[in-house]
Every structure is written in structure tokens, then in C-alpha cells.
A = this chain, B = another copy of it.
Amino acid sequence: MSKKADMNKGKITRERILGKAAALFNSRGYFGASMSDLMEATGMEKGGIYNHFESKELLALQAFDHAVQTNLEIIMNRVDSREGAVNKLLELTDAFADVVENSPITGGCPLLNSAVESDDAHPVLRERVKVAMSELKDYIERLIDDAVASGEIKLDMPSSDFALIIISTLEGGGMLSRLYGDYGQLQLICKHVKTLVRSQSKV
């Protein structure tokens, strides 16, 4: 058997569990998803899963990180493929909407889902979400700053505020889109956000 496959067997299984867990927790929530659900999703026995993670909580935390990272990478890759700071912002908007519906991490935006579930019920997860959310916000902020620096747009508010507005709108739109099962609502919100961005552009 190949050396590489053997060396990585544990790691691979671990990643496989994390992938399934990320989608499961994202869809059904931390309390709504059981380890038995995860057994079914992975096809593994409990013993096998617990060999890789010491508790449901720790597994869920890492699954959250995995989910966020997966989605962020997709978004960032698309953003990076664009030229021009404003274009990058517009692409981010579309990419965000797309990820909510089409990410391998099913169940919508992990940031939103985990923020809502954790705020009163799971302080540890909540801290994790805060960090990840701030990461996203900082990323958007930098894109905005770049656009300002290049003279493409001119803000009448701190870039930090504008980033917050963008996130709020998109997350709210994602929630509605998934509630109604109607992607059109998110696309509409998306269009609105892009209008917001463009309206900051210099004449």
C-alpha cells in the first residue's frame, strides 16, 4: 500500500468527519444535531469518531472553523480573480450570496447560523463566531479601504461602518432567502448592496 495513503489515513478520516460535521451542525444547529446523526452521515461508529475528537463540543468548534474557512476561501478566491477594488467588492457580494446557497457546507451562512444559536446558549462558540465575523469584516474593510485609496469610491462614513452595513444586509438577505427557499430574494438584496457600493463611487 502506498506510503502516503498510510501516513495520512487518520488525517483524511478526520477531515472527512469535519466536512460532514460542518454541514450537519450548520444545517441542524449544535443542539439539533446529535452524534448519532453524525454517525449516520459519516458511516462511522461512535468509537471511531471519538478517536479523533474528544467531545461533541470540541468537534463542533472545529467544524465551525472548517465551515467558515471553506466558505471564506471560496469567496476570497473569487474576489482575488477580479481586478479593481470596486470590482472586488461587487464580486464579494455575488460570491457571498452564491456561497449561502451552493457551498459544500450546506445550511446557509455558518456565521449567521452560529451567531444566532450561540449568543445566549453557547458562550464558547460565540467567541469563535466573533473572531470569524471580525475576520470577514476586516477583509471587507480592507477592500473598501483599497477602493478609497485608489480613488474609485469616496465614503461619507468610516470604512468600518460601511463594512458592517454590507455584512448586515447580506446576512439578513441570506436568512430570508433560506427561510422562503427563494434565492431570488437574496439576489435582490445582492443587487441592492452592489448599488450601495456603486453609489459611493465618484462621479
Contact = CB atoms under 8 A, between A and B. Distances in A.
B175 A171 contact: yes
Interface string A163-199: 0110111111101101110000100110010000000
Contacts of A175: 112, 115-116, 168, 171-172
Given A31-B31, A117-B117, A161-B188, A168 B173 contact: yes
A19 to B, nearest CB: 17
Contacts of A89: none
Nearest to A176: B168
B168 A172 contact: yes
Given A165-B189, A172-B169, A178 B115 contact: yes
Interface string A37-77: 00000000000000000000000000000000000000000
B189 A168 contact: yes
A159 interface: no
B179 A130 contact: yes
Interface residues of A, number: 41
A126 interface: yes
Interface string A126-166: 10011001000000000000000000000000000100110
Contacts of A106: 120
Pick the 8 closest A-B CB pairs, nearest first. A168-B172, A172-B172, A31-B31, A27-B120, A171-B172, A31-B32, A115-B179, A168-B173
Interface of A: 27-32, 106-108, 112-113, 115-117, 119-122, 126, 129-130, 133, 161, 164-165, 167-173, 175-176, 178-180, 185, 188-189, 192
16 contacts: A31-B31, A107-B120, A113-B116, A115-B175, A126-B179, A133-B176, A133-B180, A164-B173, A164-B185, A164-B189, A167-B176, A168-B168, A168-B172, A168-B173, A169-B172, A171-B175
